[in-house]
Amino acid sequence: MAPGGGLSEVTRDAAELPTSERLKLARILLDLSDTSAEPAEELQATWEGEIARRLRELRTGAAQGVPPADVKQRIEAGFRR
């Protein structure tokens, strides 16, 4: 907590910040509290592995792609519900 203040004072001060500064503060606080987050390199490697796996499945025929028109139709049908 802030010296000489408390959480309510910090909250009040934060509420007076411009929107962009509040968003930066929120990101900082989230980063400080998220101890379980994967390091950026590990996360990137995980996604690259997933992308490679999906491409391999498409190329070998283990998986089939969906035409963009079908995807669009499914999305639009979901909004109509």
Q: What are phi and psi of 24, to 5 degrees?
A: -65, -45
pTM: 0.43
Question: Are 30 and 56 in a shared domain?
Answer: no
Question: Are 29 and 45 in a shared domain?
Answer: no
Domain range for residue 9? 1-37
Nearest partner of 53 among 63, 39, 66, 43, judged by Cα? 63
Question: Are 33 and 47 in a shared domain?
Answer: no
Give per-residue pLDDT as tens, 11-62: 999 999 998 899 999 988 888 877 666 678 888 899 999 999 999 999 999 9
Question: Are 51 and 32 in a shared domain?
Answer: no
Identify whether the C-beta of residue 58 lies closer than 8 Å to the C-beta of residue 65: yes
Packing angle, helices 7-15 and 19-33, rounded to 10: 140
Question: Are 45 and 73 in a shared domain?
Answer: yes
Question: Are 24 and 47 in a shared domain?
Answer: no
Question: Are 1 and 31 in a shared domain?
Answer: yes
Question: Are 49 and 66 in a shared domain?
Answer: yes
